[in-house]
């Protein structure tokens, strides 16, 4: 079997050992004669997997006891709605907008309650002093890594209201001081497991503030009170996330992921910057994403050829997001340094052959 080098933005590369373990356990989990897919979410065994996954996450991020860890469905998009439903009652959701996903979250919040832009910049993260809260701000929302635009916050904003972060595309890629946040959410499908699972980490005292008319499944408190099992949770996705969390701990945890992501992204940014304009990236240097390296070829007529020849070398899914065009290499935790070196070597040779 020859696997590709998968640079997809999400769903994305998974650790091979996780896939192999899941395959080995698929029809008979731990000698019980049944698959996880066939197991009740109320069973002692599944509750064991669930609780262990929560505690592995707590260990990976050092999540304090006063924070609830919840597993939801509906992806980042549902969080765009649930955040204002739960937290903007009687106030105004403030949004730092600097890319596709923070903009989408802001637009959704405007449909639900009062929402304002606390900052709006392009091709970078706003500086701390550019973030201006409204007087009645109930929270500040930002997206720590703009997946489409390839922009990261290199710092955590400090504000006087609860801080809410969409960490969908840099989840578990670096240490995070959870105490600085009111709520963190992330779709699992980049660094944590299959699509269909969303992780929410929220400060307990902020829950229970949704308007009483809020539908049960859209109130975070429902999940907090029921160990995320008010309804049937995505059991298989939670099981895979459990295997990924164990793999992460085995690899050295989020600090090690950060170390690797610095190396991986630097290989590509150095190559792009030294290509004499053959490739370019317009994001301000300090804001360049370590997870999603976006770049363009100066001669766009070479785009299709670039993607085609890459695929012949098993370098897959490097075409940019349909909104931006160009190229994007996503370097999530399961993408090895070696894979990035193969990509860099290909890019170098392609540039030499076409200069
Ligand atoms: N937020 C970020 C940063 C994302 O990268 C994505 C999807 O790629 C989303 C939100 C939307 O996630 P979903 O498709 O799970 O709703």
The residue to mutate among 77, 98, 289, 290, having the most atoms of ligand 1 within 8 angstroms of its beta carbon, is 77
Q: Do the Cβ atoms of 182 and 220 come closer than 8 Å? A: no
Band the pLDDT of 323: cuts 50, 70, 90.
confident
99 lines ligand 1 (CB under 6 A): no
Query: 226: CA distance to ligand 1 center in Å?
Result: 25
Q: Whose CA is nearest to atom 3 of ligand 1?
A: 168
Q: Is 233 exposed, middle or buried (0-12, 13-18, 19+ CB in 10 A)?
A: buried
Q: Is 58 part of any known ligand binding site? A: no
- Paired residues of 279 in beta bridges: 297
**Ligand 1 touching residue 166 (CB < 6 A):** yes
Q: What is the pLDDT of residue 322?
A: 85
Rounded distance from Cα 137 to ligand 1 centre (Å): 24
Phi then psi for residue 119, to 5 deg, are -165, 155
Length of the chain: 355
197 touches ligand 1 (CB under 6 Å): no
Largest Cα span, the chain: 64
Residue 1, pLDDT > 80, answer no
The pLDDT assigned to 331 comes to: 98
For residue 296, the model assigns a pLDDT of: 97
Q: Band of the pLDDT at 279, cuts 50, 70, 90?
A: very high
Q: Provide the 10 A C-beta neighbour count for residue 181.
A: 18
Its pTM stands at 0.98
The verdict on whether residue 177 carries a ligand-binding annotation is no
Domain 16-250 has CATH 3.40.50.300: no
Does the predicted interface ipTM exceed a cut of 0.95? Answer: yes
pLDDT for res 224:
98
266 CB-near residues (< 8 Å, 6+ apart): none
Asked if the 5-9+252-354 domain carries CATH number 3.90.1150.10, the reply is yes
Q: Could you tell me if 140 and 157 are in contact, meaning their C-beta atoms sit under 8 angstroms apart?
A: yes
CA 139: distance to chain centroid?
20
Mean pLDDT of the chain: 97
Going from N- to C-terminal start, the domains of the chain cover: 5-9+252-354, 16-250
């Amino acid at each position: 079997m020859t696997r590709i080098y998968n640079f997809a933005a999400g769903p994305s590369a998974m650790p091979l050992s996780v896939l192999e373990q899941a395959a080995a356990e698929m029809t008979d989990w731990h000698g019980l004669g049944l698959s996880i897919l066939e197991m009740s979410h109320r069973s002692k065994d599944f509750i064991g997997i669930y609780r262990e996954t929560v505690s592995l996450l707590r260990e990976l991020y050092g999540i304090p006891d006063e924070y609830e860890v919840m597993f939801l469905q509906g992806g980042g998009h549902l969080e765009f709605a649930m955040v204002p439903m739960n937290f903007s009652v009687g106030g105004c959701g403030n949004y730092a907008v600097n890319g596709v996903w923070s903009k989408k979250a802001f637009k959704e919040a405007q449909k639900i309650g009062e929402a304002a832009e606390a900052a709006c910049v392009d091709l970078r993260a706003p500086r701390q002093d550019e973030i201006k809260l409204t007087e009645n701000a109930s929270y500040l929302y930002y997206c720590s890594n703009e997946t489409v635009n390839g922009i990261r916050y290199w710092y955590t904003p400090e504000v006087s209201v609860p801080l809410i972060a969409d960490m969908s595309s840099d989840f578990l890629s670096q240490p995070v001081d959870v105490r600085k946040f009111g709520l963190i959410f992330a779709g699992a499908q980049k660094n944590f497991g299959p699509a269909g699972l969303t992780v929410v980490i929220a400060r307990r005292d902020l829950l229970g503030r949704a308007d009483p008319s809020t539908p049960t499944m859209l109130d975070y408190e429902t999940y907090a009170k029921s160990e995320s099992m008010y309804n049937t949770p995505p059991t298989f996705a939670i099981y895979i996330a459990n295997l990924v969390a164990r793999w992460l701990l085995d690899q050295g945890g989020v600090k090690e992921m950060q170390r690797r992501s610095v190396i991986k992204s630097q290989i590509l940014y150095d190559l792009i910057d030294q290509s004499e304009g053959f490739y370019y990236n317009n994001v301000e240097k300090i804001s360049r994403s370590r997870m999603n390296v976006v770049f363009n070829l100066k001669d766009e007529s070479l785009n299709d050829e670039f993607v085609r020849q890459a695929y012949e070398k098993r370098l897959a899914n490097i075409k940019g997001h349909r909104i931006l065009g160009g190229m994007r290499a996503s370097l999530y935790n399961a993408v090895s340094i070696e894979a990035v070196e193969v990509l860099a070597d290909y890019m170098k040779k392609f540039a030499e052959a076409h200069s």
